[in-house]
A and B are shown apart, each in its own frame.
Chain A
Amino acid sequence: MRKKIVTIMLVFVFAGIAALLFAGGETAKGKVSLSFWNMPFVTQEVSPQYVTKWEADVKVVLPDYEVDNFYGPGKYADQRDKFLVQAKSGKPDVIEGLLEDLAVYVQKGLVEPLDAYFNAWEDKDQFVVSTLAPLTINGKLYAIGYNTNARALVYRKDLFAKYGLKVPKTWEDFILTAREITRRTDKKVYGLFLCTQVGGPRAAQEFISWYYQVSGKKQMFDVSGGQKKFNGTVDQLEIVLTLYDEAFKGEYPACDPDERGNGWPSEDPGYVAGRWAMAPMGPWLWGRRTESDTAKVNLEQNTAITSLPYYSKGVPATYLEVKPIAMSAFSEHKNEAWELIKYICSRDKMGEWLADSGGIPARKDSLQLDVFTKSDIGWWIQGFANELPKSVAQAPINWGPVSEANLRAVNYVIYDEKSPRESAQWLYDKINDLLDRGEL
């Protein structure tokens, strides 16, 4: 009797394990199951109403597929870490992300080249060429861009008018104007917010925008045939770090010293709530206009968009963001995954998504949709689109350790641990060390 019980239990255990191991992407109804990791659907950068609509639409347009409504972890860093570990399991099939992360995935061989799929797609000519270039690594297209933007400066035009201030063009004016706002409002509104969070993607993107201005739009790294060369100098890094140093200095500083070390989780809600008058920003901020009445008024009526102030001995430049949609090289359903990518990047879907969240579609025909041409968002999108000609895409390297070092150097300066010169020297040595150790 005891033997029978043990045997039955073992059968159940092995059957369960087999079911777990061999359960493929086929659902009970014979549909192909696809997994799509897409951070904006988790973080409410896209409205929950739109996500619900997207889920209903995809069932109609792709009736043979079951698209999982788990969109991955809600942070890009976590998403990247998890994908690096689990990509070989075949899940997710499709992944949205940061351009910087795409280079890491390519380095690790986790994403599929899409040239053959893309070249056979009748819509391929609708994509803005400049958005495809950063997604092409070592001559192969590894993702389709769905969203592009250049970093610009959003500012409170009502406060500028109230205090008779001019929109700053250079860094010197930028800091002085911001300090003036802090002084006039007696620190109720700080003039500026700069992201200084170590490990935060936004902080890294802001840092690189200032760097491009100082370097004359020259890349921080040259990548050729697998070789990487660091182009930065101590002098250039010192200039960028001095900007951060100045921003947090003085009796009425440009930036709130209590926000040192903070990033986008403070920057975005703080701006729409009226806590700062200027912030380097992308179009996603539009999605926050529904947060409160104050946010709506501040964004729709009180905000204007202009170029990032530039280093007077440098050139106007800014960071180009292209948000990629990539396919896992280990997906068990690549053709189906491509159909999903085509759907995500179709004219209407791309347009609707970015009209909801605020963003510049990577397709020319999406920009012609009524949601852009005949709605309130037109001026907003145009404000960021104006900056695209000045923008520079980052070189395809593993940016994680470099971005972390950049922001550590910034933190050394803003916390008075090192002078801008000492911090620049530290950063220069650190990046060269990372390069020598082959970590990039």
Chain B
Amino acid sequence: MGFRIKRENIGFMLILPTLIIMSLFTVFPLFEGIRISFTDKHLLKEAMSYVGFDNYRGLITDEVFLISLRHSLILTAVVVFFQFIFGIILALALKQDLPGVRFFRSVIMASWVIPVVATVVMFQFMAQPDYGYINIFFRLIGLKKLNTYWFGNKYAALPVIIMLHLWRNIPFYAVAFLAAMQAIPKDLYEAAEIDGATAWKIFFAITLPGIRNMIIVMVTIHVLWTFNNFDFVFLSTGGGPVNATDILPVYVYRQCWRSYTMGYGASIGTVMLVILMIYFIVYIKIYERSER
């Protein structure tokens, strides 16, 4: 008497391992994190009690949380916007049949391949006073008075971190957009040219709609990645100088692993989750409406 699996259940059986792993490593931690956010869990204490919304009430008056939230929103908006703009420009450039463009296409992803820690160390060297490339450049163009350690300057640190994001991710956008552009039928461009459409008209009427789905994917992924990004800030400034580059993921880390206040840290994580969920709900609604 052998065991038999009904044909209609085979599909379910095949995805069962994935479902089990996702439940263990995604769903359970997610709900556990939300549960802990309603407690006063402290890593050095055995006892833990439920405190209702106390942690969330604390966030409203927590100056560093509000600064971190503002920085996270600014960072995400600015980074994703400029990645999108420069990504399209670079993709259009790569699409042209220019000398050396093939070589450029093959090396363009280097910034994506380099480990984040190496990228940060490289930028830290470039930002050094006196001998860093950034300061050498300013000296060459007669702006020696700007000589400073850029990650240590409270006004410049966040823009430098934004540059770091752009440097790493623009080529990724460009390659993705280029692939989408190459899938647009050439007939459309030929017809437009015959009709006497300008380059701008062609771009807005053919290219942009043609890569629309790719734009949606890239923007969606990068809003998520940038908002949750921890390593760039943690490795380069740790949230400083003072609170100039504090962002929510770094603040969560500090609450959990410097102060050991897991409950409070989890409440910040839950706020991040809610913000991203609101973003996705609105985004999907807009997308669905435009599809109709």
A291 contacts the other chain (CB 8 A) = no
Encoded as 1 (CB less than 8 Å from any A CB) or 0, chain B from 1 to 14 comes to 01100000000000
- In the complex, are the beta carbons of B43 and A84 less than 8 A apart? yes
Shortest distance between the CB of B125 and any CB in chain A (Å): 13
Known: A84-B43, A398-B44. A404 touches B152 (CB 8 A): no
B111 contacts the other chain (CB 8 A) = no
A436 contacts the other chain (CB 8 A) = no
A258 contacts the other chain (CB 8 A) = yes
- In the complex, are the beta carbons of B44 and A81 less than 8 A apart? no
A400 contacts the other chain (CB 8 A) = yes
- In the complex, are the beta carbons of B149 and A401 less than 8 A apart? no
Give A261 to B124 CA distance when docked, in angstroms: 14
A425 contacts the other chain (CB 8 A) = no
Which residue from chain A places its CB closest to the CB of B151 in the assembled complex? A261
Give A404 to B261 CA distance when docked, in angstroms: 14
- In the complex, are the beta carbons of B259 and A404 less than 8 A apart? yes
- In the complex, are the beta carbons of A199 and B42 less than 8 A apart? no
A150 contacts the other chain (CB 8 A) = no
Partner of A415 from the list B45, B242, B259 (CB cut-off 8 Å) is B242
Partner of B2 from the list A3, A77, A438 (CB cut-off 8 Å) is A3
Give A439 to B262 CA distance when docked, in angstroms: 11
Chain A residues with CB under 8 A of B43: 84, 108
B240 contacts the other chain (CB 8 A) = yes
B249 contacts the other chain (CB 8 A) = no
- In the complex, are the beta carbons of B259 and A417 less than 8 A apart? no
- In the complex, are the beta carbons of B241 and A400 less than 8 A apart? no
- In the complex, are the beta carbons of B260 and A398 less than 8 A apart? yes
Which residue from chain B places its CB closest to the CB of A187 in the assembled complex? B130
Interface residues of B in 83-129 (CB under 8 A from A): 129
- In the complex, are the beta carbons of B257 and A259 less than 8 A apart? no
Partner of A199 from the list B44, B152, B258, B261 (CB cut-off 8 Å) is B258
B269 contacts the other chain (CB 8 A) = no
- In the complex, are the beta carbons of A81 and B257 less than 8 A apart? yes
Chain A residues with CB under 8 A of B260: 84, 398, 400-401, 439
Which residue from chain A places its CB closest to the CB of B127 in the assembled complex? A258
A102 contacts the other chain (CB 8 A) = no
Shortest distance between the CB of B20 and any CB in chain A (Å): 13
Give A415 to B129 CA distance when docked, in angstroms: 17
A349 contacts the other chain (CB 8 A) = no
Chain B residues with CB under 8 A of A412: 242
Give A107 to B242 CA distance when docked, in angstroms: 30
Known: A3-B3, A400-B260, A411-B240. A259 touches B152 (CB 8 A): yes
Main secondary structure of the interface of B (DSSP, over half): loop
Known: A84-B43, A107-B44, A439-B260. A258 touches B148 (CB 8 A): yes
Known: A107-B44, A258-B129, A258-B149. A411 touches B261 (CB 8 A): no
Shortest distance between the CB of B151 and any CB in chain A (Å): 8
Interface residues of B in 257-282 (CB under 8 A from A): 257-261
A44 contacts the other chain (CB 8 A) = no
- In the complex, are the beta carbons of B258 and A260 less than 8 A apart? no
Give A3 to B4 CA distance when docked, in angstroms: 10
A104 contacts the other chain (CB 8 A) = yes
Give A408 to B251 CA distance when docked, in angstroms: 14
Give A434 to B259 CA distance when docked, in angstroms: 9
Partner of A411 from the list B148, B242, B259 (CB cut-off 8 Å) is B242
Chain A residues with CB under 8 A of B45: 438
Chain B residues with CB under 8 A of A77: 257-258
- In the complex, are the beta carbons of B238 and A199 less than 8 A apart? yes
Most buried by A among B42, B148, B152, B261: B152
Shortest distance between the CB of B47 and any CB in chain A (Å): 10
Give A104 to B257 CA distance when docked, in angstroms: 12
B154 contacts the other chain (CB 8 A) = yes
Known: A107-B44, A439-B42. A262 touches B258 (CB 8 A): no
Chain A residues with CB under 8 A of B2: 3
A198 contacts the other chain (CB 8 A) = yes
Give A199 to B42 CA distance when docked, in angstroms: 19
Chain A residues with CB under 8 A of B237: 261
Give A260 to B150 CA distance when docked, in angstroms: 11
Chain A residues with CB under 8 A of B154: 415, 417
Interface residues of B in 234-250 (CB under 8 A from A): 237-242
Give A119 to B142 CA distance when docked, in angstroms: 70
Which residue from chain A places its CB closest to the CB of B135 in the assembled complex? A258
- In the complex, are the beta carbons of B241 and A415 less than 8 A apart? yes
- In the complex, are the beta carbons of A260 and B241 less than 8 A apart? yes
Known: A107-B44, A258-B149, A262-B152. A411 touches B241 (CB 8 A): yes
Nearest 8 interchain pairs by C-beta: A258-B149, A258-B129, A401-B259, A261-B241, A415-B242, A411-B242, A261-B240, A107-B44
Given contact pairs A84-B43, A411-B240, enumerate 14 new A-B contacts (beta carbons under 8 Å). Answer: A77-B257, A81-B257, A84-B260, A107-B44, A198-B240, A199-B254, A258-B129, A261-B241, A404-B258, A415-B241, A415-B242, A417-B242, A438-B42, A439-B260
